[in-house]
Amino acid sequence: MGYQFQSINFTGAAPGKRLIVLGGVHGNEACGTEAIQRVIAELQQGQLTIRQGSVTFVPVCNPKARQLQQRCGDRNLNRKLFPTATPVEFEDHVANWLCPLLAQHEVLLDLHSFHTAGAPFAMLGPKNNQGQLEPFTHDAEEESLARHLGVSLFVDGWLDTYAAGVRRRQSAIGTTAQHDVAFGVGTTEYMRSQGGYGLTLECGQHDDAAAPEVAYRAILNTLAWLGLIDDYAPAAVSERQTLRLFSVVDRLSAGDQLAQEWQSFQQLAPGTLIGTRADGSELRTEELAYIVFPNPGAEPGSEWFYLARPVERV
Ligand SMILES: [Zn+2]
């Protein structure tokens, strides 16, 4: 099919943690790839040395999307991410290569950028739980790593909120493969399903010149925090804010319009008009909330925006 997959591994002489760092899960997000290449060069030139454990870098997870300079090749690689015996779309082939690779590691750092202006943030997994949706036992390590990445804003509640949105869609428009709860599984959710843990770091807007530096600092901090390099000890970020997603609202028709060009993490007072449906009905906040991932051009039937509220966490 003209595309090949590449991973680069550095292993220390002493045993230790197994880390994997991903870039280019979405083809139009270059900051992770840039930062990974910078760290690889420093390792190759001897400015950095892996003392214990090992790190695997995947500079470009989705080479088709990267060639197209688009978020997706055939579909979003960061949804419905698991191996399949009958690959159809290009991302199924990526998953068949990437999932077993993820499963060989204990910790994941997945580097992304985003569409609208806003501060960098990390996506956190659930608290420890024995539930059906995303059972987890590593919340303490995951939260501690998050505190040391170098960013001060955190978002959690992704899979819960996504699953609730999926259930609402199923009852509204009938079930299709796209509306399966498992559709919310991306790289970090897959990692947790295999007994590991991991963070998605959204490093800034796609073309923000600072985003590659945010990604680079996060890789070094992760290597140091896990003890793979011994050059320095990263400090925990002191001022932290965590927002918990509690609602996802779908765009139902192309006539649905947002009331203004919202920025991600913009605070909305109770009663704020967020958008208007094609039939004229208004969507307003019921409580003080933050709008997250607003997508004015969302395909009808897919996520239009999320709402989050502040919580005490990391
Ligand atoms: Zn992304």
**Residues having C-beta closer than 5 Å to ion ligand 1:** 26, 29, 112
Reported pTM: 0.92
* pLDDT tens digits, 99-132: 999 999 999 999 999 888 888 999 999 999 999 8
Rounded to 5 degrees, what are φ and ψ at 126?
-75, 170
Looking at this protein, which amino acid is placed at residue 16?
Answer: G
User: Is residue 153's pLDDT more than 70?
Assistant: yes
* Percent of the chain residues past pLDDT 90, beyond the cut: 81
* pLDDT tens digits, 1-19: 689 999 999 999 999 999 9
CA of 271 to the centre of ligand 1 (A): 31
CA of 46 to the centre of ligand 1 (A): 31
Give the Cβ contact number of residue 298 at 10 Å: 19
> For 242-311, CATH number?
2.40.50
Q: How confident is the model at residue 177 (pLDDT cuts 50, 70, 90)?
A: very low
Concatenating the DSSP letter of every residue in 19-48 gives EEEE--SSTT--HHHHHHHHHHHHHHTTSS
Q: Where in the chain is the domain with CATH 3.40.630.10?
A: 8-237
| H-run or E-run covering 18 | strand 14-22
CA of 19 to the centre of ligand 1 (A): 20
Q: Where in the chain is the domain with CATH 2.40.50?
A: 242-311
> For 8-237, CATH number?
3.40.630.10
Which bin fits 301, alpha (ψ -120 to 50), beta or left (φ > 0)?
Answer: left
* pLDDT tens digits, 24-34: 999 999 999 99
Rounded to 5 degrees, what are φ and ψ at 85?
-75, -20
CA of 51 to the centre of ligand 1 (A): 31
